């Protein structure tokens, strides 16, 4: 039986707007090199890569470098990413993008790139604050900022921040800090019963027996390649 | 104007239908005109628990598809005045449940009733979403075990995002009903305690119904257990309904009953 049958309604609507998408900015066109590095990163944090749509950006490469878009795109897909478009000036890449069914965005001009990085340095982005418990099946991401949860993060929930994570209640689910690689990021919680914690891609999973005995405030940070829980 | 309440849980077999029948009956006993809608298309059992399965002629899907009108499909309870139920279809396609259709039925019922209780199917699929979509309040039924609590947590998250109220930026007021509570097994740490469950789910507790043989007896007879006023489960559902209506009552049936000499002498708890 048909759903939503009501004659006058439009089938769809076009909407303009800014959507945040992850860009994968290449510093090399060497496919083998790219593949190795992607493999390493996916092994460290598989969750970030699975089914993430990405724009492949090539404006950092010199104009005469030969880019095999087909191979690069295949390598990305193999690691779980979903290339949706390219960003570049080179006509050759643009042509291959069309052939592969990818979209094309014009390159970001030097001036804008500079402006963006300048404004980033100056502005302090306030923490994202969540006032409810984060429940099983929910995922929250604080882009470019800290994340504060005024409640608990339950089993089956996942919170991610590019900065630090503060949990006023118990951490029973997954918490990821420094998601863009900030090695100094930390996770704080009132009670540690986590399924997984990760800082800058270094992660550890926990079984019941591995939780700290004393049920008090816990801080998780990185010391070299090791997570320190105290 | 009726208040729409969903009885939901995520996990199956935890006591949603049992609770819907008993809370609905208790509301009607208090004089509130109450209608129970069975959303469990394909598994018709609210009618069995209510003991009116032989009087089902038309069902929810018949009304949705225009083959019957509401007054033909509503079944009047034989025991309590002002209590009605709208049965689910046993055979028909779940996809027949459309948002528009359900909205129309609920709007029509709203004028005539004080409470509309929606008995949700298990899971987080279409049927469960339909049952909760128009709800202003929810009774989240949970058993004292990890998987049930986790599924309830998931459902509370959906109440906060997948309902009309949530879309309008208003909260659905969700309350926790713990059923099949067995203090003895809690004491032996086989089951979670009321405190543990409350701490995780972080919504107000509306009642605790103990594990009880009276429930099975009642559903075999097709009489909601709340009619059995001698039974622990029957009393727990009366308490629950009173709290649901805003009354304050202490929680009962939380401790293991000690049948020892001393407790018999001094009347126990
Ligand atoms: N307090 C209780 N004590 C003992 N048995 C109970 C209790 N509550 C429910 N039951 C039993 O548990 C079983 C499931 O109950 P019920 O049908 O109400 O659950 P449900 O959540 O509606 O299930 P479904 O998800 O299949 O719709 C029934 O056999 C019922 O008799
Ligand atoms: Mg049921």
**Atom of ligand 1 lying closest to residue B45 CA:** 17
Averaged confidence pLDDT in chain A: 86
- The per-residue pLDDT for A2 is 44
Residue B11 annotated as lining a ligand binding site:
yes
Please, is B38 exposed, middle or buried when counting C-beta atoms within 10 Å of its C-beta (0-12, 13-18, 19+)? buried
Sorted by where each begins, the domain ranges of chain B are 3-247
> Are A197 and A175 within 8 A, CB to CB?
yes
> Are A179 and A202 within 8 A, CB to CB?
no
> Are B103 and B134 within 8 A, CB to CB?
yes
Q: How far apart are CA B78 and CA B146, in angstroms?
A: 39
> Are B180 and B143 within 8 A, CB to CB?
yes
A139 φ/ψ angles, rounded to the nearest 5 degrees: -135, 135
- The pTM assigned to this predicted structure is 0.75
CATH homologous superfamily for A22-107?
A: ACT domain (3.30.70.260)
A219 φ/ψ angles, rounded to the nearest 5 degrees: -125, 135
Confidence check: pLDDT of A32 > 80: yes
Looking at residue B120, what DSSP letter applies? Answer: P
Higher pLDDT pick, A47 / A127: A127
Higher pLDDT pick, A27 / B217: B217
Q: What is the pLDDT along chain B (269 residues), one digit of tens a residue?
A: 899 999 999 999 999 999 999 999 999 999 999 999 999 987 768 999 999 999 999 999 899 888 999 999 999 999 999 999 999 987 667 677 899 999 999 999 999 999 999 999 999 998 999 999 999 999 999 999 999 999 999 999 999 999 999 999 999 999 999 999 999 999 998 999 999 999 999 999 999 999 999 999 999 999 999 999 999 999 999 999 999 999 999 999 999 876 655 555 554 34
- The per-residue pLDDT for A151 is 95
Q: Which fold has domain B3-247?
A: Rossmann fold (3.40.50)
Sorted by where each begins, the domain ranges of chain A are 22-107, 114-229
- The per-residue pLDDT for B265 is 53
Q: Which residue of A has its CA nearest to B161?
A: A138
Share of chain A residues as helix, strand and coil, in percent rounded to the nearest 5: 25, 30, 45
The mean per-residue pLDDT over the stretch A10-39 comes to 85
Q: Do A135 and B100 touch (CB under 8 A)?
A: no
Asked if the C-beta of A139 comes within 8 angstroms of chain B's C-beta atoms, the answer is no
A19 Cβ partners below 8 Å, 6+ apart?
Answer: none
Q: How far apart are CA B203 and CA B160, in angstroms?
A: 12
- Chains A, B: CB contacts within 8 A come to 44
Q: Which fold has domain A114-229?
A: Pectate Lyase C-like (2.160.20)
List the Cα angle A42/A100/A38 in 5-degree steps.
15
Share of chain B residues as helix, strand and coil, in percent rounded to the nearest 5: 45, 15, 40
Residues present in chain B in total: 269
Q: Is B73 helix (H, G, I), strand (E, B) or coil?
A: helix
Residue B14 annotated as lining a ligand binding site:
yes
From the list B197, B220, B128, B177, the residue with the least C-alpha distance to B26 is B177
Q: Is the dihedral of CA A190, B174, B45, B127 positive or negative?
A: negative
- The per-residue pLDDT for B268 is 39
Partners of A152 on chain B (C-beta within 8 Å) are: 199-200, 202
Q: Is B163 in the pocket of ligand 1 (CB under 6 A)?
A: no
Residue B121: other Cβ atoms inside 10 A: 23
Confidence check: pLDDT of A170 > 80: yes
From the list A34, A41, A21, the residue with the least C-alpha distance to A67 is A34
Q: How far apart are CA A114 and CA B52, in angstroms?
A: 74
Q: Which residue of A has its CA nearest to B203?
A: A133
- The per-residue pLDDT for B260 is 56
Beta strand spans in chain B (E): 3-8, 34-38, 75-76, 83-86, 115-119, 137-142, 173-181, 205-210
**pLDDT digit string, tens, across residues B76-119:** 999 999 999 999 987 667 677 899 999 999 999 999 999 999 99
Q: Do A1 and B100 touch (CB under 8 A)?
A: no
**pLDDT digit string, tens, across residues B196-222:** 999 999 999 999 999 999 999 999 999
Give the distance (Å) from ligand 1 centre to CA of residue B17. 7
**pLDDT digit string, tens, across residues A84-124:** 999 988 888 998 999 999 999 888 766 555 555 555 555 67
From the list B169, B176, B212, the residue with the least C-alpha distance to B194 is B176
Residues present in chain A in total: 230
- The per-residue pLDDT for B257 is 77
**Atom of ligand 1 lying closest to residue B233 CA:** 1
Q: Do A154 and B98 touch (CB under 8 A)?
A: no
């Amino acid at each position: 039986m048909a759903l939503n049958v009501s004659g006058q309604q439009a089938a769809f609507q076009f909407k303009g707007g800014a959507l945040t998408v992850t860009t994968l900015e290449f510093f090399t066109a060497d496919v083998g090199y790219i593949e190795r590095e992607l493999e390493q990163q996916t092994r460290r944090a598989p969750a970030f890569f699975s089914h993430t749509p990405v724009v492949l950006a090539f404006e950092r490469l010199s104009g005469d470098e030969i880019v095999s878009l087909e191979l690069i795109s295949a390598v990305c897909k193999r690691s779980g990413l979903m290339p949706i478009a390219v960003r570049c000036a080179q006509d050759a890449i643009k042509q291959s993008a069309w052939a592969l069914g990818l979209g094309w965005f014009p390159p970001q001009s030097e001036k804008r790139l500079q402006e963006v990085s300048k404004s980033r340095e100056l502005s302090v982005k306030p923490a994202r604050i969540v006032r409810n418990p984060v429940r099983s099946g929910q995922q929250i991401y604080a882009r470019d900022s800290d994340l504060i949860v005024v409640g608990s993060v339950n089993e089956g929930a996942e919170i991610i921040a590019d900065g630090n994570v503060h949990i006023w209640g118990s951490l029973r689910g997954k918490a990821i800090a420094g998601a863009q690689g900030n090695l100094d990021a930390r996770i704080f919680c009132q009670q540690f019963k986590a399924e997984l914690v990760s800082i800058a891609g270094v992660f550890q999973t926990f079984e019941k027996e591995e939780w700290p005995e004393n049920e008090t405030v816990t801080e998780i940070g990185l010391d070299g390649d090791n997570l320190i829980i105290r | 104007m009726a208040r729409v309440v969903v009885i939901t849980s995520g996990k199956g077999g935890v006591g949603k239908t049992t609770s819907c029948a008993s809370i609905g009956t208790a509301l009607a006993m208090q004089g509130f005109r109450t209608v129970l809608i069975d959303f469990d298309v394909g598994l018709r059992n609210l009618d069995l628990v209510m003991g009116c399965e032989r009087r089902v002629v038309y069902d929810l899907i018949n009304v949705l598809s225009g083959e019957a009108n509401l007054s033909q499909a509503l079944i009047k309870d034989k025991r309590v005045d002002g209590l009605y139920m709208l049965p689910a279809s046993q055979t028909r396609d779940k996809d027949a449940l459309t948002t528009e259709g359900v909205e129309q039925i609920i709007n029509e019922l709203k004028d005539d009733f004080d409470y509309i209780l929606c008995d949700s199917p298990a899971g987080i699929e279409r049927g469960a979403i339909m049952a909760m979509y128009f709800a202003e309040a929810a009774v989240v039924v949970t058993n004292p075990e990890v998987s049930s609590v986790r599924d309830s947590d998931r459902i509370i998250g959906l109440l906060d995002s997948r309902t009309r109220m949530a879309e309008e930026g208003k909260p659905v007021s969700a309350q926790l009903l713990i059923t099949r509570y067995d203090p003895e097994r809690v004491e032996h740490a086989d089951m979670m305690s009321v405190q543990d469950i409350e701490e995780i789910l972080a919504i107000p507790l509306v009642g605790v119904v103990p594990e009880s043989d009276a429930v099975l007896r009642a559903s075999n007879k097709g009489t909601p257990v709340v009619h059995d006023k001698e039974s622990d489960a029957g009393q727990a559902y009366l308490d629950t309904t009173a709290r649901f209506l805003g009354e304050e009552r202490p929680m009962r049936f939380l401790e293991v009953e000690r049948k020892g000499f001393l407790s018999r002498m001094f009347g126990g708890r």
